[in-house]
Chains A and B, each alone.
Chain A
Amino acid sequence: MTRSLLWRGMLAGLVGALIAATFALLFAEPHIDAAIALEAHHAMGAAAEPEIVSRATQKSWGLFTAMGLYGTASGGVFAILFAGLYGRVAGLSPRALALLLAVGAFVVVVLVPAIKYPPTPPAVGLHETVRMRTAAYFTMLALSGAAATGAAWAFGRLGGRTGLLDRMLLSLATYVGLVAIGQWLLPVVDEVPADFPASLLWQFRLASLGTQGVFWLATADLFGRAAERVTAQGYRS
Chain B
Amino acid sequence: MTTTRAAIHPGPFVSSTRPIPLAEIAPWAVFAAVVALILLYFVSTEQGAFALFDGKSVHEYVHDGRHLLGFPCH
How far is B5's CA from A1's CA once the two chains are assembled, in angstroms? 13
Question: Contact flags (1/0) for A75-98 with B, using CB distance below 8 Å?
Answer: 011011001101110011111100
How far is B43's CA from A66's CA once the two chains are assembled, in angstroms? 6
Q: Are the CB atoms of B35 and A134 closer together than 8 Å?
A: no
- The 8 Å CB contact of B64, one of A62, A72, A84, is A62
> Quick one: given A2-B25, A62-B63, are A28 and B32 in contact (CB under 8 Å)?
no
Contacts of A88 in B (CB 8 A): 19
Interface residues of A in 165-184 (CB under 8 A from B): none
Can you name the residue of chain A whose Cβ is closest to the Cβ of B65? A66
Q: Are the CB atoms of A72 and B39 closer together than 8 Å?
A: yes
Q: Are the CB atoms of A120 and B73 closer together than 8 Å?
A: yes
Taking the closest CB of chain B, its distance from the CB of A164, in whole angstroms, is 14
Q: Are the CB atoms of A28 and B68 closer together than 8 Å?
A: yes
Can you name the residue of chain A whose Cβ is closest to the Cβ of B30? A80
Contacts of B42 in A (CB 8 A): 69
Q: How many residues of chain B are within 8 Å of chain A by beta carbon? A: 53
- The 8 Å CB contact of A76, one of B18, B36, B73, is B36
Interface residues of A in 93-141 (CB under 8 A from B): 93-96, 110, 113-114, 117-122, 125, 127, 130-131, 133-135, 137
> Quick one: given A92-B15, A231-B17, are A67 and B65 in contact (CB under 8 Å)?
yes
Q: How many residues of chain A are within 8 Å of chain B by beta carbon? A: 69
- The 3 lowest CB-CB distance pairs between A and B, nearest first, are A66-B65, A87-B19, A134-B49
> Quick one: given A66-B62, A127-B74, A131-B49, are A232 and B68 in contact (CB under 8 Å)?
no
Q: Are the CB atoms of B72 and A53 closer together than 8 Å?
A: no
Interface residues of B in 1-27 (CB under 8 A from A): 1, 3-9, 11-20, 22, 24-25
How far is B68's CA from A28's CA once the two chains are assembled, in angstroms? 8
